[in-house]
Structure 1
Amino acid sequence: MPDMSDTAPDFTLPRDGGETITLSGLRPGAVVLFFYPRDDTSGCTKEAVAFSALKDQFDAAGATVLGISKDSLASHEKFRDKHALSVPLLSDEDSETCEAYGVWAEKSMYGKKFFGIERSTFLIDGEGRIARVWRKVKVPGHAEEVLNAVKAL
């Protein structure tokens, strides 16, 4: 599980719209990776909408924001279109990237245990090192807090 000052695990994943994104190819810009459990659920929608609303400010601060879940590209595109999302959504269907970042975890709901994505955000600096980690994210105010961390880099 990577932590502060570790080099961020590199990946190449498909994104909505059909392209692929390679993390190391985004240097020397900062990157915000927000891992979320599922397209079009309440908390995930609020989080993606909040990051999309601040996209221009992230861009101005020199940071690329990427959302990652295990959902398919078709699901991502429906989610993007339904909520007018402007941040790229990456599909990690085999969960390799989720596992590399330590966000694929055992969860519990209504007494049932299952594996899923633990809502987490990673701020990666221009040299590819993890500058900040937020685990078990609470959505309200989170995108703003991440934007302030980007500006402080």
Structure 2
Amino acid sequence: MSHLKTKKNAGLIKTSILAAAFTVCSFNLHAALPVNSAAPSFNADASLAGKSFAFSLDKALKKGPVVLYFFPVAFSSGCTLEAHAFAEASDAFNAKGATVFGITSGNVEKIKEFSEQECRNKFAVIADPGAKIAKRYDSLMTTKDNKVLSNRTSYVIAPDHKILLAYTDANPEKHIEKTMEAVTQWHKNKK
């Protein structure tokens, strides 16, 4: 009986590994812009607390560093988790002089609602229809059905447009930690 359980467990493990490999291979990821390179300027429609406004990266950087995080689709489970975590950390980012902005190419017609409900009115969400900004930031993802979306990539951009951090990971959990480390380091160096 023990031999059968071991064989069954080995089969389950093999199936799990294959499923994980298929999931990873079911879309193509593109690399992020390198650290120390210049972040491209852009203007786009955005929403904060359900209110629309015209976003300008140049204008935002005049206030301090920008945490710009790309996410695939508004209201998906991973993107909602990430929005909640960034909302909880927004005050800590603001205390260090940084401002958080989310940006998505998926469900752009819902960014007003997303900025209220999931971002909890703490930070703005930028619409990127057609993933044009994501392309300039080398933050694209092609799904298995050939849909092009913004990849889950976080940047910390200094006021001089220098990229301090570029972090890509499909798992949303580490993005807040990594961006906070970069902002904290920038804040310490500024003093």
The normalised TM-score by structure 1 is 0.88
Distance 2:167 2:121 in 1: 22
Question: Which residue of structure 1 lines up, in the alignment, with residue 18 of structure 2?
Answer: none
Distance 1:30 1:50 in 2: 19
Question: Which residue of structure 2 lines up, in the alignment, with residue 55 of structure 1?
Answer: 90
More helix by share: 2
The normalised TM-score by structure 2 is 0.72
Q: For the Cα contact (< 8 Å) 1:2–1:101, is it kept in 2?
A: yes
Answering whether residue 132 of structure 2 is matched by residue 96 of structure 1, we say: yes
What is the Cα deviation at residue 85 of structure 1?
4.1
- After superposition, the C-alpha distances for 1:18-68 in whole angstroms (9 at most, x for unaligned) are 111111112341011100000111000000110011111100111111000
Stretches of structure 2 lacking an aligned partner (at least 5 in a row): 1-31, 187-191
- After superposition, the C-alpha distances for 1:99-150 in whole angstroms (9 at most, x for unaligned) are 1001123233xxx454222110111012111111001242124213311221
Q: Mean alpha-carbon deviation: is it higher for 37-46 or for 91-100?
A: 91-100
Question: Which residue of structure 1 lines up, in the alignment, with residue 76 of structure 2?
Answer: 41
Instruction: Give the 3 Å change call, closer, same or farther, for CA 3–140 of structure 1 in structure 2.
Output: same
Where 1:44 maps in the other structure, the secondary structure is helix
Tell me the amino acid that sits aligned with residue 136 of structure 2.
A
Q: Between the two proteins, what is the percent identity of the paired residues?
A: 25
Tell me the amino acid that sits aligned with residue 123 of structure 2.
V
Instruction: Give the 3 Å change call, closer, same or farther, for CA 139–62 of structure 1 in structure 2.
Output: same
Tell me the amino acid that sits aligned with residue 48 of structure 1.
A
- Flag as ranges the 4+ runs of structure 1 deviating above 6 A: none
Distance 1:72 1:41 in 2: 10
Tell me the amino acid that sits aligned with residue 90 of structure 1.
I
Question: Which residue of structure 2 lines up, in the alignment, with residue 106 of structure 1?
Answer: 142
Q: For the Cα contact (< 8 Å) 2:105–2:129, is it kept in 1?
A: yes
Report 1 or 2 for greater relative contact order, CA contacts < 8 Å, sequence distance ≥ 6.
1
Count residues with an aligned counterpart: 150
Q: For the Cα contact (< 8 Å) 2:82–2:172, is it kept in 1?
A: yes
Q: For the Cα contact (< 8 Å) 2:67–2:154, is it kept in 1?
A: yes
What is the Cα deviation at residue 70 of structure 1?
1.6
Stretches of structure 1 lacking an aligned partner (at least 5 in a row): none
Q: Which one has the largest radius of gyration?
A: 2
Provide the alpha-carbon RMSD of the alignment.
1.8
Match among 35, 38, 59 for residue 4 of structure 1: 35
Tell me the amino acid that sits aligned with residue 59 of structure 2.
G
